[in-house]
Amino acid sequence: DPLERLCVHESVDEKVPIESFAAALDDLPVPVEIVGDDAGLDETDAVASYRPRDGFIDAGWVHCIRAGYDEFDTEAYEDAGTPLTNSTGIHDTTVGELVVGYMVMFARRLHVYRDKQTRRQWYDPPYDRPFTVDTESVCVVGLGTIGRGVATRASALGMDVVGVRRSDASVEGVSAIYPPDELNEAIGDARFVVLAVPDTPETEGMISTAEFQHMRSDAYLINVARGPVVDEDALISALDDGVIAGAGLDVFRTEPLPESSPLWDFEEVIVSPHQGSTTNCYHRDLAELAEEIFRQYQSGEPLRNRVA
């Protein structure tokens, strides 16, 4: 059945201004309606949502506005035959630039100067602390949209880039690709280890005590993937004990990061509150992708980013 309506679930407003997102979809030849949990849906409805809801399964097509669709029950969608799509493919620049920002901040010590600035302190760092990223190495774990966005930018900065993924297809700017079972070897020489994998049973806790021990003691972990990919207690211990130098974290086991978390207190930890993808154009980027998939559905083509 062709779609007759696109429902934008109210949870979209948690991430982008929902009216702007809906307005960016107004080229579509069907009405776009903002709906709550009580929306009655059938197979002529499409749904775009940030959060999952059981009732979505009755729609003709459900689109998750996140790249990470780990909160959605893909098996239920498969059993019901309702296509589910996600929003991978649009975060190479946004998250790529965030990761560059982290690396350059740590190298050029900007986070320390900003901390001192809040106390009006003119400050000379220990001579051996500042460095430049251009001669350093980065290991990018997960070489999809985000991983490649990081790799091309790091390579343009002069860094040596290696990566980890299951398939061995070569990636521009990446000098060596390791399979997941050689993770320890891949991260062993890196000054920065960047996590850009989805949260799956295989990636949960993939960075824990043993991996921190394989990292250099002057290495920084950067997690822009999902909190559960890192064993957070092991990370806190590794930071406390100087096993690694620091961490740039956009994602956490519990979000918002609880006020009681020790991660707030480390000078060498930079916390960004899951804002890696956020820009003033995010509603438009998300809407363009949803519109493309909507048109594919209407013309019976395979759906881009179909995950169930």
Catalytic residues: 226, 255, 274
| 196's tokens | 């850009």
Binding segment toward ligand NDP, per CB under 6 A, in 73-81, 111-119, 159-167, 184-192: 159-167
If one asks whether residue 136 binds ligand NDP (CB under 6 A), the answer comes out as no
If one asks whether residue 68 binds ligand 7N6 (CB under 6 A), the answer comes out as yes
CA atoms of 235 and 224, how far apart (whole Å):
15
Comparison of 49 and 203: residue with beta carbon closer to ligand NDP: 203
65 binds, among ligand NDP, ligand 7N6, none (CB under 5 to 8 A by kind): ligand 7N6
Give residues 215-244 in contact with ligand NDP (rule: CB under 6 A): 224-226
Least CB distance to ligand 7N6 at residue 86 (A)? 8
146 binds, among ligand 7N6, ligand NDP, none (CB under 5 to 8 A by kind): ligand NDP
Binding segment toward ligand 7N6, per CB under 6 A, in 18-26, 62-70, 112-120, 158-166: 62-70
Instruction: Give the interface with ligand 7N6 as residue ranges (CB under 6 A).
Output: 15, 50, 65-68, 87, 277
